[in-house]
Amino acid sequence: MSQVIPVEEKILSENERLAAAIRADLASRAIPAINLISSPGSGKTTLLEKTLHHFAGGRRIALIAGDVQTENDAQRLLAAGGERVQPIVTGGACHLDAKMVGAALDRLDLTGTELLIIENVGNLVCPSGYDLGEDHKVVLLSVAEGDDKPLKYPSIFRRAGLMLLTKIDLLAHCDFDPERAEQNARMINPEIATIRLSCRSGAGMENWFMWLERLIGKSSQPESHEGTRNV
Amino acid sequence: MSQVIPVEEKILSENERLAAAIRADLASRAIPAINLISSPGSGKTTLLEKTLHHFAGGRRIALIAGDVQTENDAQRLLAAGGERVQPIVTGGACHLDAKMVGAALDRLDLTGTELLIIENVGNLVCPSGYDLGEDHKVVLLSVAEGDDKPLKYPSIFRRAGLMLLTKIDLLAHCDFDPERAEQNARMINPEIATIRLSCRSGAGMENWFMWLERLIGKSSQPESHEGTRNV
């Protein structure tokens, strides 16, 4: 397997070049971007449905929804009122890369967009190594998954700016200690911020919406940049 | 990324050669083997703890526990009474391969072993493409993850002989329809068997233990094969 490493390095360096171009383009438009990463079924799409509802008529959010197969997530986001939604079907690949995201951005009208959210493929391992040009990686961990996961899958927790502990309505029914989960995450990444929330009960959702509002506020600039996108 | 494909094909073909050697060796010893694959936190290790308790003093089970980081799962299995347990820490890799499993088998005393269970890295995508020499892939899907997952991650459901719907004690608290999950799995793989179970409540566990007993029964042969392993 000695041949893998140079090829992987070449792919990663090409990915970094494309990601840097995406980041520069989004910055020039004052569009902050986040990259949501988690296991399958941690609640990424449901969180985005609730986020679209909350910001409906207020903030203009563009969404890129990645999946191994089906455009089901993108369809759900359109049904939830998403007006700027692009699916990426990887056809088997276990993560999004900057080339896929660049192509999806080319199909999106970004005029006036105030926030870009990229929903990665459900996978707690592989997506962490691929920069998509985002400002922050956000990792979701459902309380049904166990509080040991930051230690067992450290790469994404090391790189994420924010951990969302999702499905906290299930805390009474699972052997999950949220404080231990947060301690474990901070052992890997002392700077990581955390929010506990439940899309089902609504608990903690305001903290997530405020986090997004602050992100939008930081990126907004006096001059607006509009027009077509060039990477 | 055009250079990836030939390298990946070469790795896969080397993996298939090693997996075939493992399969032949295990068959010569009449040891059936299964490869447990799921998202992180679907309950693989807890299922194996319960399985060790059930078969304690009866069946001799060897276990290989794969993780990206930490030997926590192997430690849990030893604490649960496992006498033949080998960890594999991939150090970042997103799946086990036959070379890793062959090396772990070399460290296990297989004399008299009646069943080998390999707990793969928590990842619903990448492990499905790597034959480890097992007789059956078994996929776990927790009811907290959503009943749409077979359609979104079809590769593992296509290749698995058995789907375990785990954590059914959470059914009352999740929007999960087990019949829809089973329908979705059968759309991908009409031959897939399914068992619904909960390690927490104990519901359905007897069906899992019976499935393993049948697997052991099918593999047992009149002559026993002992001694050291050669791949």
Percent residues over pLDDT 70 in chain A: 92
Please list the residues that pair with B104 across neighbouring strands. none
Report the b/e string of B16-46 with b at 16+ CB within 10 A: eebbeebbebbbebbbbbbbbbbbbbbbbbb
**Residue B67 with chain A: CB contacts under 8 Å:** 152
Given a cut of 80, whether residue B6 has pLDDT beyond it is no
Average pLDDT, chain B: 93
**Contacts of A56 by beta carbon, 8 Å cutoff, 6+ apart:** A81
Contact A152 B122 (CB under 8 A): yes
Contact A68 B148 (CB under 8 A): no
Q: How confident is the model at residue A9, as a pLDDT?
A: 75
Query: Cβ(B175)–Cβ(A49) under 8 Å?
Result: no
Q: What is the pLDDT of residues B7-59, one digit of tens each?
A: 777 777 999 999 999 999 999 999 999 999 999 999 999 999 999 999 999 99
- The whole-angstrom distance between A49's CA and the closest CA on chain B is 15
Q: How confident is the model at residue B12, as a pLDDT?
A: 76
Query: Of B148, B102, B133, which Cα lies nearest the Cα of B31?
Result: B133
Contact B152 A122 (CB under 8 A): yes
Of A7, A67, A149, the CB nearest to B40: A149
Torsions phi, psi of B198, nearest 5? Answer: -140, 120
Alpha helix positions (H), chain B = 4-28, 44-55, 72-79, 98-106, 149-152, 154-159, 178-188, 205-219
Compute the average pLDDT of residues B116-138.
97
Q: How confident is the model at residue B99 (pLDDT cuts 50, 70, 90)?
A: very high
Contact A68 B121 (CB under 8 A): no
Q: How confident is the model at residue B11, as a pLDDT?
A: 75
- Give yes or no for B11 touching A (CB within 8 A): yes
| Mutation site, A173, A184, A198, interface B, largest B CB count within 10 A | A173
Kindly give the parts of chain A with pLDDT less than 70.
Answer: 1-6, 221-231
* CB within 8 Å of chain A, chain B residues 141-200: 142, 144-146, 148-149, 151-155, 167, 169-170, 173-174
Query: Cβ(A37)–Cβ(A128) under 8 Å?
Result: yes
Percent residues over pLDDT 70 in chain B: 92
Query: How many interchain CB pairs under 8 A, A with B?
Result: 129
Interatomic CA distance for residues B177 and A96, integer angstroms: 29
Q: What is the pLDDT of residues A128-138, one digit of tens each?
A: 999 999 999 99
Question: Per the structure block, which two tokens stand in for B22?
Answer: 């493992």
Interatomic CA distance for residues B14 and B118, integer angstroms: 20
Query: Cβ(B51)–Cβ(B61) under 8 Å?
Result: yes
**Residue A67 with chain B: CB contacts under 8 Å:** 152
Angle, CA A136 vertex, CA A131 and CA A141 arms, to 5°:
100
What is the DSSP annotation of A143-182?
A: GGG-TTHHHHSHHHHHHEEEEEEE-GGGGGGS---HHHHH
Residue of B nearest to A13 (CA): B1
Category of A4 on φ-ψ map: left (φ > 0), alpha (ψ -120 to 50) or beta: alpha
Query: Of A137, A68, A69, which Cα lies nearest the Cα of A96?
Result: A68
Interatomic CA distance for residues A178 and A184, integer angstroms: 10
**Contacts of B144 by beta carbon, 8 Å cutoff, 6+ apart:** A41, A142, A144, A145, A167, A170, B167, B170, B174, B176
- The SS3 call for residue B111 is coil
- The whole-angstrom distance between B227's CA and the closest CA on chain A is 30
- The SS3 call for residue B167 is coil
Contact B68 A167 (CB under 8 A): no
Q: What is the pLDDT of residues B195-211, one digit of tens each?
A: 999 999 999 999 999 99
Query: Cβ(B117)–Cβ(B36) under 8 Å?
Result: yes
Q: What is the ipTM of this complex?
A: 0.89
Q: How confident is the model at residue B5, as a pLDDT?
A: 59
- Give yes or no for B12 touching A (CB within 8 A): no
Residue of A nearest to B175 (CA): A200
Given a cut of 50, whether residue B224 has pLDDT beyond it is no
Q: How confident is the model at residue B164, as a pLDDT?
A: 98
Of A92, A151, A155, the CB nearest to B92: A155
Contact A124 B39 (CB under 8 A): yes
Q: How confident is the model at residue B222 (pLDDT cuts 50, 70, 90)?
A: very low
User: Which residue, chain included where needed, has tokens 């009409």?
Assistant: B190
**Residue B73 with chain A: CB contacts under 8 Å:** 152
